[in-house]
Structure 1
Amino acid sequence: MSVTFSGFARAESLTNALAKAYTNNPAMAAALISVKLASEDIVLRKAGQRPQVNLSGTTQYSWASVGGSTTANTNTTLNLQYNQRLFDGFKTAAQIDQARAYANATTHSLRNTEQNVLLSAATAYMDVVRDTNLASLRADNVKFLRAQVSSARNRLNIGEGTKIDVAQAEARLAQSVAAYKSAVNSLRTSQASYVRWMGSKPSGLNSNFKFGNVLPRSLDEALRSAKANHPAIQTAMAQVEAAKFGTDAAMRAFGPTLDLIGSICAIDCGGGSSQGTSGSIRLTLAIPIYQGGALGASARKANLSHINAEVDARATVNQVEEAVISAWSGLQSSIALIESANAAVRSSQIALDGVIEERNVGQRTTLDVLNARAELTSANESLYTAQRNKVVAAFSLVSAAGKLDAASLHLPVTIQSADGYRARVEDIWGELRE
């Protein structure tokens, strides 16, 4: 499928505009950072299974004065402590799995943001194309009606017209000027939206775009693709998985914990009075018996969160299916409207040319010409709107099918992904100090 609008001196293709949106839009950058943040949560949860080593030191200076005699002493203590949780009923393991599921959810959310950005960018692009055409069309209509006002006045002056003809032409001209100004304001709004999504001003657009195989050929194909590929559904399913692991973690908090604790202490009391090293190692078993109801509340809350995530996932599936059907219907309607509008433009142009000829020989009135021109203008406006709606509906359908991404559209960009970041940090043991 391809759509082309002509009449622009310079051209920025829709493909290049989408590449700009993908590369420059801050929503993409924010979503990418969210994936990296979620990756760090995996590391934080893994820390619960790793040893903790702390070094502390204390230096104390003391003195005493008794009977005119003063004594002083310096006491220095260094303590190296090791803590390792050996067993916690697999609570930490469940929390790690939960963090991974949340990281997966943010990865899918990044793809969903990508779809939304590209769809919004395509919509903004086509809005500029439509509004540019409408503004140009209405400017031409103003010129035509000014010519009709002048013609009506000339015919009145030579006795072939009436004041009514002049008044009717002037009234239509006033309406046309107002419509033109409205079109210019709409164009300015569309241009502002274009800048928001693409990061640059439109400077002549060429909306030729080939979807290739990403555009579903049937409604059933679109629905199957949506269920398998839509990132909003995949995000919701990952959140269900995360909530399930959250419930597991909450239930395992009722179990015992076993900790290994070791320490080495070096003492120097100063003056050679006392120096030495001591150490200890111990195992500590803790069994929760009563925590004021906190454990039970946490378990119930986690279970409710799991249920809520499943409900949200079902709602997301329904919303995506609705979006697919709506986009498919919109695309089919736009195709039919374009065919109808093209026929209306052709017939209206022929009718206008005929009415003008008949008016020139006295068989039609100025009002007939004005009405014929209004029909032609309306048909052209419907055509431009239908052409815009067709492209936007096609992008909406690709998005609803879960395939509106830079890779599938073959955009000339570097694909943004946090997979490498997650792989680098997930198994880092060292502390980062700057």
Structure 2
Amino acid sequence: MLGSTLASGVASALTLEESVAFAIDYSPEVLGQYARYQSVIRQQDSIRGNYLPQVNLYGAIGQEQIWTSSDVDIDDNGTRSEIGLKVSQLIFDGFATTSDIDRLGYEAESERLTLISRSENVALDVARIYLELLKAQTVLELTDRNVREHEEIYADIEDKVAKGLSSQSDLAQVAARVATSKTSYISALNNLSDLQAQYRTLVGRNVSGLTSPKFDQGLIPTSLAVAQKQAVENHPEIRAAIVDMDAARKEMKREKGGYYPEVRLEGYANRNDNVGGELNGLDEDARIMLVVDYDLFNGFSTNANVEASAWRAEEARAIRLRADREVREGTELAWNAYSMLDQQLDLLKQNVDAAKIAEVGYLQQFNVGRRSLLDVLDSKVEVFLARQNYVNTLYDHSFAAYRLLNAMGILTYALRVEHPQEWQEEAK
């Protein structure tokens, strides 16, 4: 099985770590990349076959007619048969086979690192959905609480209207706020349902018993410079790009093998019957030869292949530079988001506390006739929005941390999700 496993024990609830492990198993992108990785390894095994002897068996049978220059038919009823065995051992091919094996080794290592990068991105997608689900559940609870509080106010005002202590306009005003709060509840419920569908598509499991994850604070770097340094050193995409450059250089060396002669040791054994018009005539021979095949001119094809491989090496270098820039940019964006959201959390917490104090005070003043009903309703909205903003920022801050760990190429490590041993061993 190619899927990932958890380093920690399996809990009863579906944790973020378990969700990531299931998603990596379930991901078509990861499965497709694993197949590509295996394909390159098999190609390398195929090229290694050139080091071994090549054995070919040849056989043929059929009618043969021979005429002399005087149009005399020597044999008009001859059945010719041939059978032969050829054994060939490559001795030297201008280092083409060796270079090709090395090239495929680097390509396999690149595909392995790309496989890890794919799993890193899947882990980030799962972290996003998981945190969005937790956020949506919390917001749904807030909207449900908001509806109940507005309904309590409605019931209180309705009682006062019945006693002649309040007006129908006050009751209508509260009714409008109740309807608005219920609309928000339905919207929050719809958002939660959409996220549950996305989770099932990504993880392949139903949402069950989500728990608030805690990221490893010790893995968060102390500065942007440290974060970018770790990202450049660890990110699998950069490492894959570096290996691709090595593969391109080996490809160029393979193409230069065309400038050298090919040397093989070949052995032949043949047994022929009725060859050349001689009925029942046996023709047997065996030989061993050192064969040199030197391509003196092939229409400049070797030159063109070498130049093409040189340009592919240049392309690999450009891809390496692009990967470096993208990783640095992604790390900086993630770092900025994490730092800014961290600063906002304390302010938003103060906002919630202040809004709640104002709400309680307004309600007390309303009961003694010093505040209007509109003031009380507005204070409830302020508290609801303050709580919602705090919840959004709290989960966004957690996601920013996971995003930063992903930009550094260590998200699955931070989540304690272990890749199979096959993924961890270098393919070169």
When normalised by structure 1's length, the TM-score is 0.84
1:262 aligns with 2:238: no
Partner Cα separation in structure 1 for residue 311 and residue 118 of structure 2: 27
1:274 aligns with 2:274: no
Query: What's 1:106 paired with?
Result: 111
Partner Cα separation in structure 2 for residue 54 and residue 176 of structure 1: 82
Q: Which of the residues 413, 420, 424 maps onto 1:415? A: 420
Q: Which of the residues 174, 177, 192 maps onto 1:169? A: 174
1:312 aligns with 2:319: yes
Amino acid at match of 2:175: E
| Cα offset, 1:420, TM superposition | 7.2
Query: What's 2:411 paired with?
Result: 404
Query: What's 2:81 paired with?
Result: 76
| Cα offset, 1:396, TM superposition | 1.2
Query: What's 1:50 paired with?
Result: 52
| Cα offset, 1:127, TM superposition | 0.9
- Cα distance change, pair 145–128 in 1 and its aligned pair in 2 (3 A): same
1:221 aligns with 2:214: no
**Is the contact made by 1:36 and 1:418 (CA closer than 8 Å) also made in structure 2?**
no
1:179 aligns with 2:184: yes
Residue aligned with 2:259, SS? coil
Partner Cα separation in structure 1 for residue 26 and residue 103 of structure 2: 32
Query: What's 1:345 paired with?
Result: 352
Partner Cα separation in structure 2 for residue 352 and residue 180 of structure 1: 21
Residue aligned with 1:206, SS? coil
Amino acid at match of 2:195: S
**Is the contact made by 1:214 and 1:409 (CA closer than 8 Å) also made in structure 2?**
no
Alignment gaps of 5+ in structure 2:
1-11, 66-74
Partner Cα separation in structure 1 for residue 35 and residue 301 of structure 2: 33
Query: What's 2:165 paired with?
Result: 160
Amino acid at match of 2:272: I
For residues 2-401 of structure 1, the aligned pairs below 5 Å read: 11-60=13-62, 74-211=79-216, 213-269=218-274, 273-401=280-408
- Cα distance change, pair 38–390 in 1 and its aligned pair in 2 (3 A): same
| Cα offset, 1:53, TM superposition | 1.0
Number of residues of Structure 1 aligned to a counterpart in Structure 2: 407
Alignment gaps of 5+ in structure 1:
1-9, 64-69, 424-434
Residue aligned with 2:411, SS? coil
- Cα distance change, pair 421–245 in 1 and its aligned pair in 2 (3 A): closer
| Cα offset, 1:385, TM superposition | 1.0
Amino acid at match of 1:376: V
**Is the contact made by 2:103 and 2:247 (CA closer than 8 Å) also made in structure 1?**
yes
Query: What's 1:431 paired with?
Result: none
- Cα distance change, pair 404–188 in 1 and its aligned pair in 2 (3 A): same
Partner Cα separation in structure 2 for residue 117 and residue 356 of structure 1: 49
| Cα offset, 1:290, TM superposition | 3.9
Report the RMSD for the aligned CA atoms in angstroms.
2.9
When normalised by structure 2's length, the TM-score is 0.86
Task: Report % sequence identity.
Answer: 24
| Cα offset, 1:295, TM superposition | 2.8
Is the deviation greater in 10-19 or in 114-123?
10-19
Deviations 1:338-368 (A, max 9, x none): 2222222222122112212222222212211
Amino acid at match of 1:160: L
Deviations 1:215-255 (A, max 9, x none): 32332322221121110110111111111112222233233
**Is the contact made by 1:35 and 1:418 (CA closer than 8 Å) also made in structure 2?**
no
| Cα offset, 1:26, TM superposition | 4.0
Partner Cα separation in structure 1 for residue 271 and residue 127 of structure 2: 69
**Is the contact made by 1:36 and 1:421 (CA closer than 8 Å) also made in structure 2?**
no
Is the deviation greater in 39-48 or in 276-285?
276-285
**Is the contact made by 1:263 and 1:279 (CA closer than 8 Å) also made in structure 2?**
yes
| Cα offset, 1:129, TM superposition | 0.3
| Cα offset, 1:272, TM superposition | 8.5
**Is the contact made by 1:152 and 1:366 (CA closer than 8 Å) also made in structure 2?**
no
Query: What's 1:428 paired with?
Result: none
Partner Cα separation in structure 1 for residue 226 and residue 235 of structure 2: 13
Deviations 1:2-36 (A, max 9, x none): xxxxxxxx843323333333444444333333222
| Cα offset, 1:72, TM superposition | 5.9
Partner Cα separation in structure 1 for residue 213 and residue 399 of structure 2: 13
Partner Cα separation in structure 2 for residue 357 and residue 11 of structure 1: 43
Residue aligned with 2:409, SS? coil
Partner Cα separation in structure 2 for residue 74 and residue 269 of structure 1: 6
Amino acid at match of 2:136: D
Is the deviation greater in 307-316 or in 259-268?
259-268
Partner Cα separation in structure 2 for residue 295 and residue 419 of structure 1: 38
Residue aligned with 1:205, SS? coil
Residue aligned with 1:161, SS? coil
Residue aligned with 1:267, SS? strand
Query: What's 1:430 paired with?
Result: none
**Is the contact made by 2:15 and 2:210 (CA closer than 8 Å) also made in structure 1?**
yes
